[in-house]
Amino acid sequence: MDSLFKLLRKVLYGISVAAMLVMLAIIFMQVITRYLLGFTFEWSEELARFLFVWAVFLGSALIMGEDGHLAVELLPRLLAGSKPGFVLNVFINLCGYVFIFLLITQGWKMTETMSFQEAPGLGIPMSWVYIVMPVSGVLMLLYHIKDSLKILRAIREPKA
């Protein structure tokens, strides 16, 4: 199972880095063409924006898998090892499921809603942009299940 998560990490990292590099190249090209040649490609700003959205959502899933999200940890650290700390940890985990469920369901609704609209510069369906929301939600869900299994192991195997 760990090898699957390592592969997923590499894929997400690669896609995120590639999206950021392409976005940087497009923006650089856009600045050069605007100020030196007096025009811009109509699709360039749009593509850079869409790549940014994808990089943010896939990067969020990647960071979740590495426990790198910003968190307020004062209370969990103060309560660590105690029964209230464990209950708080379970509550936080359940809140994560609520957020992920909303991301997947509402992201899917947005994707369906925007399926009729086309991006004016690129001419692609806007659903291609919005699909990253439920996709990243499913990826986050995989990582969150992994974290939940750690909590379940802690319940089964209490420390001596």
Q: What is the per-residue pLDDT across 109-137, written as a single tens digit (0 to 9) for each?
A: 999 998 889 988 888 889 999 999 999 99
Q: How many CA atoms lie within 13 A of 19 on its CB side?
A: 19
> How many Cβ atoms are within 10 Å of 111's Cβ, its own excluded?
20
In the DSSP assignment, the letter for residue 115 is G
Residue 57 token pair: 């959502």
CA distance 17 to 58: 10
**Domain parsing of the chain, residue ranges:** 2-156
Q: Structure pTM?
A: 0.80
| Chain segment 43-64, per-residue pLDDT in tens | 888 999 999 999 999 998 888 8
Mean pLDDT of the chain: 86
